[in-house]
């Protein structure tokens, strides 16, 4: 029946899109804040812990599991970038200047800085927006967000915040990196709920 054929086609196309996005995003990785230092990076590499799954924060399909690291991207000339993606980007970020576009196997990533915040915006090859990540420090945090974190983790310093919007999640996911004298913690905040994603000790824990 024509109605069933269309439904089957839609399901197949949805699965194809999920697999395509996962393929090109899995090639990249989430960076810890630079302030964590070489010790944290060595320990992180040796433990081979997976990168945060942002989609899981919203109980949405597990599509985006890792975020692009600029060290793995190739700068793209603007004439190699989809016109539709560029138009959408300009519409979303009218104040962006000195934007750096990158080509990856299955899409494009744009990066720029604005008022102390680093932006990373991803599109697939069909020029569909996938995610936006804003990265900033404690001073740029919203007061209520900072208060939520500090009410529980008052002895920790906030090293970095990643504010994430993603095509298949309603609302915003926050990934917050904390540090104290003994360890680093990574938190995920969504809909007012806090989840501890990672715990990494600075020294062997007995």
pLDDT digits (tens, 9 = 90+) for 53-86: 443 333 332 333 344 444 556 666 667 888 999 9
Reported as a pLDDT band with limits 50, 70 and 90, residue 201 is very high
Mean per-residue pLDDT of the chain: 74
CB neighbours of 193 closer than 8 A, spacing ≥ 6? none
pLDDT of the residue at 79: 74
18 Cα distance to chain centroid? 16
pLDDT digits 0-9 by tens, 105-149: 889 999 999 999 999 999 999 999 999 999 999 999 999 999 999
pTM over 0.85: no
User: Domain coordinates of the chain in residue numbers?
Assistant: 2-201
The yes or no reply on domain 2-201 and CATH 3.10.450.360 is yes
Phi-psi region of 116 (alpha: psi -120 to 50; beta: other; left: phi over 0): left
Q: Tell me the sheet residues that pair with 163.
A: 134, 174
Contact between 129 and 88 (Cβ < 8 Å): yes
């Amino acid at each position: 029946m024509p109605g069933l054929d269309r439904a089957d086609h839609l399901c197949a196309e949805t699965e194809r899109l999920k697999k395509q996005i996962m393929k090109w995003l899995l090639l990249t990785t989430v960076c810890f804040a630079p302030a964590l230092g070489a010790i944290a990076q060595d320990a992180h590499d040796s433990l081979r812990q997976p990168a945060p799954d942002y989609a899981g924060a919203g109980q949405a399909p597990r599509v985006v599991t890792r975020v692009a690291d600029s060290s793995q991207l190739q700068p793209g000339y603007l004439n190699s970038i989809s016109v539709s993606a560029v138009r959408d980007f300009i519409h979303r970020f009218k104040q962006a200047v000195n934007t750096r576009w990158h080509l990856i196997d299955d899409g494009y990533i744009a990066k720029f800085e604005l008022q102390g915040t680093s932006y990373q915006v991803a599109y697939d090859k069909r020029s569909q927006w996938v995610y936006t990540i804003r990265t900033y420090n404690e001073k740029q945090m919203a007061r209520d967000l900072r208060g939520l974190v500090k009410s529980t983790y008052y002895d920790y310093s906030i090293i970095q915040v990643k504010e994430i919007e993603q095509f298949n999640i309603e609302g915003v996911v926050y990934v917050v990196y904390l540090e104290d004298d003994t360890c680093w913690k990574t938190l995920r905040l969504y809909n007012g709920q806090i989840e501890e994603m990672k715990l990494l000790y600075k020294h062997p824990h007995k």
